[in-house]
Amino acid sequence: MQPDDLDDKTFQQFVELIYEKAGIHMGPHKRALVTSRLAKRMRQLGIEDFRTYYERIRQDTTHTELVNLLDAISTNVTEFYRESRHFDLLQELLTKWEAQGQKRFRLWSAACSSGEEPYTIAITAKRSLNNTSDTRILATDISTQVLEKAQQGEYEEKRLEGVPGQALQRYFSKCRNGAGSRYKVSEDIRNMITFARLNLSTPPFPMQGPFDVIFCRNVMIYFDNDVRRRLLDEMHRLLKPNGFLMVGHSESLSGILSEFKIVEPAVYRKAT
């Protein structure tokens, strides 16, 4: 299927649907990307034209195909220890808070993709804190496909390049040998995390908080300023006073009114 096969009106209707349901803004420059991702999903379903696919999503009262559409559209690139400065800072903060007597820690990976981010958070917490600490990580994403993968916690060897040797030895075990070696995250790390589907573009969220640190990285780039602003207000509500928000290094909050104070590039703090 070629981009030309997607007429202007149907393209616009998909763009509006994706924005309405996921807050993801797909301008005309994303037309080729939208076309190829829709086409891939349509091939799986044996559907040949875009209008039929659009009608099918609209008529599906179970919303199953809508979830599949959003899975197909979102970009899930991630890696262990991505933008590693955030994990050095997390270690410093947890160590400091524990030295001040804190025993309960709540962390949130708000667009967790296939799990590399929340597992890196969990490993960092495990390596920083005393064994007696009560540490829980919430990991959410809009895509059910990536959440399934995240929950399995199994990765190809080449995906683990960013993991420090000691952490690799301690928190992963080889589960398949040979050319396609795979490693599984250890049970004690997996048990620290709760995975759930959550659409960041539709606050308020059901969680109570408060969180000590929220990671909301490399997802706000897909949102326009309205969606970003509502999301930031909600994350502000869910953070404890002096709690931290980590965003992707290419995502600045400048120009968006928000109550956060900047600490350093890509790191914000809820002022008391």
Rounded CA-CA distance 183/177 in Å is 9
Strands (E), the chain: 104-109, 134-141, 154-156, 172-176, 182-185, 193-197, 211-216, 239-247, 260-264, 267-270
| Single residue of 200, 213, 214, 232 touching ligand SAM by CB under 6 A | 200
Annotation marks residue 41 as catalytic: no
Nearer to ligand SAM (CB atom), residue 113 or residue 135:
113
Nearer to ligand SAM (CB atom), residue 1 or residue 236:
236
Respond yes or no on whether the N-terminal peptide bond of residue 204 is cis (omega within 30° of 0): yes
**Site for ligand SAM contains 186 (CB under 6 A):** no
**Site for ligand SAM contains 201 (CB under 6 A):** yes
Nearer to ligand SAM (CB atom), residue 82 or residue 190:
82
Residue 133, burial from CB neighbour count under 10 angstroms (0-12, 13-18, 19+):
middle
**Site for ligand SAM contains 23 (CB under 6 A):** yes
**In the window 147-166, what residues touch ligand SAM (CB under 6 A)?**
none
Rounded CA-CA distance 239/260 in Å is 11
Residue 4, burial from CB neighbour count under 10 angstroms (0-12, 13-18, 19+):
exposed
Binding part of the chain for ligand SAM, among 8-16, 140-148, 176-184, 238-246 by CB under 6 A, reads 140-148
Nearer to ligand SAM (CB atom), residue 82 or residue 126:
82
* 141, 190, 217, 228: the active-site residue: 141
Other Cβ atoms within 10 Å of 33 Cβ, number = 13
Rounded CA-CA distance 144/151 in Å is 10
Nearer to ligand SAM (CB atom), residue 75 or residue 133:
75
Annotation marks residue 141 as catalytic: yes
Per-residue DSSP letter, 205: P
| Single residue of 10, 35, 68, 78 touching ligand SAM by CB under 6 A | 78
**Site for ligand SAM contains 82 (CB under 6 A):** yes
Residue 44, burial from CB neighbour count under 10 angstroms (0-12, 13-18, 19+):
exposed
**In the window 38-67, what residues touch ligand SAM (CB under 6 A)?**
none
> Contacts with ligand SAM: how many residues (CB under 6 A)?
24
Residues that bind ligand SAM (CB under 6 A): 22-24, 74-78, 82, 111, 113, 117, 141-143, 146, 199-201, 217-219, 222, 248
